Structure 1
Amino acid sequence: MTVVVCAGDEFISADLLAGALTEAGVEAEFRRIDTAWPTEPFGALDGVREAAGDPAKLAELVRGADALVTHLAPLTAEVLEAGRGTLRVVGVTRGGPVNVDVPAATAAGVLVAYLPGRNLGAVAEFCVGTMICAMRGLPAAAAGLAAGRWDAAGFRYERTGLELRAATVGLVGLGAVGLRVAELLRGFGSRVLAHDPYASPEDAERVGVRLVDLPELLAASDVVSLHARLTPETKQMIDAAALAAMRPGSVLVNTARGELVDTRALDAALESGHLRAAVLDVFDPEPPAPDDPLPRRPEVFATPHLAGASRQVAEESAARIAREVATVLSGGRPTTCANPELLA
Structure 2
Amino acid sequence: MKIIADENIPCVKEAFASLGEVTLLPGRSMQPEQLRDADILLVRSVTAVDQALLEYSSVRFVGSATIGFDHVDRAYLQQQGIGFATAPGCNATSAAEYVVSALLVLAERKDFALAGKTVGIIGCGNVGSRVRKKLAALGMRCVVNDPPLQAQGGHDDFVSLDEVLQADVITVHVPYTREGDYPTHHLFDEVLLRQLPPGALFINTSRGAVTDNRALDALLAERDDLSVVLDVWEGEPAINTSLLQRVDLGTPHIAGYSLDGKLRGTEMIYRSASDWFGHSGCWSAADYLPAGSVVEHSESGVTTMLRAAVFSVYDVRADDARLRAMLDLPPGEQSAYFDRLRKEYPVRREFSATSVLVDDADSECESILRGLGFPVVVSA
TM-score computed with the length of structure 2 as normaliser: 0.64
| Separation (CA, whole Å) in 2 of partners of 1:31 and 1:289 | 32
Return the match for 1:239 from 179, 182, 189.
189
Give the match for residue 69 of structure 1. Answer: 42
Partner of 1:53: 30
Contact 1:248 1:274 in 2 (8 A): no
The residue aligned with 1:313 is: 261
Q: Does 1:194 align with 2:144?
A: yes
Q: SS of 1:199's equivalent?
A: helix
Which residue does the alignment assign to 1:5?
Answer: 3
Q: Distance in 2 between matches of 1:301 and 1:177?
A: 20
Corresponding residue of 2:12: 17
8 Å Cα contact 1:134-1:278 kept in structure 2? no
- 8 Å CA contact 2:35, 2:57 repeated in 1: no
Q: Counterparts of 1:296-311 in structure 2 under 5 Å? A: 296-297=245-246, 299-311=247-259
Checking the alignment, whether the CA contact within 8 Å between 1:6 and 1:18 is kept in structure 2 is no
1:108 and 2:80 correspond: yes
Aligned counterpart in structure 1 of residue 101 of structure 2, from 129, 136, 147: 129
Question: What is the distance in 2 between the residues matched to 1:321 and 1:289?
Answer: 29
Q: Is the 8 A contact 1:169 1:225 kept in 2?
A: yes
Structure-to-structure mapping, 1:303-342, within 5 angstroms: 303-330=251-278
For each residue in 1:259-292, what CA deviation from the matched residue of structure 2 results, as whole angstroms up to 9, or x when unmatched? 22233442344334364310011122223556x4
Stretches of structure 2 that go unaligned for 5 or more consecutive residues are: 281-380
RMSD: 2.8
Query: Within 2, Cα distance between the matches of 1:75 and 1:245?
Result: 36
Is the CA contact (8 Å cut-off) linking 2:70 and 2:176 kept in structure 1?
no
Q: Which moved more, 1:305-314 or 1:166-175?
A: 305-314
TM-score, structure 1 length as denominator? 0.70
Quote the Cα distance in structure 1 between the aligned partners of 2:48 and 2:235: 20
In the TM superposition, what is the alpha-carbon distance from 1:172 to its structure 2 partner? 1.2
Give the paired residue count: 274
Distance in 1 between the 2:235 and 2:49 partners?
Answer: 23
Matched, 1:261 2:207: no
Once residues 256 and 108 of structure 1 are traced to their aligned partners in structure 2, the CA distance between those partners, rounded to angstroms, is 30
Displacement of 1:311 in angstroms is 1.3
- Answer yes or no: is the 8 Å Cα contact 1:131–1:279 preserved in 2: no
Do structure 1's residue 34 and structure 2's residue 25 form an aligned pair? yes
Say which SS state the counterpart of residue 231 (structure 1) adopts: coil
Q: What letter is aligned with 1:294? A: L
Contact between 1:294 and 1:300, CA under 8 Å: does it hold in 2?
Answer: no
Q: Tell me which amino acid in the other structure corresponds to 2:256.
A: G
Query: Residue 241 of structure 1 aligns to a residue in which SS?
Result: helix
Q: Alignment partner of 2:147: what SS? A: coil
Q: Mind listing any 5+ residue stretches in structure 1 that lack a counterpart?
A: 43-51, 138-159, 333-344
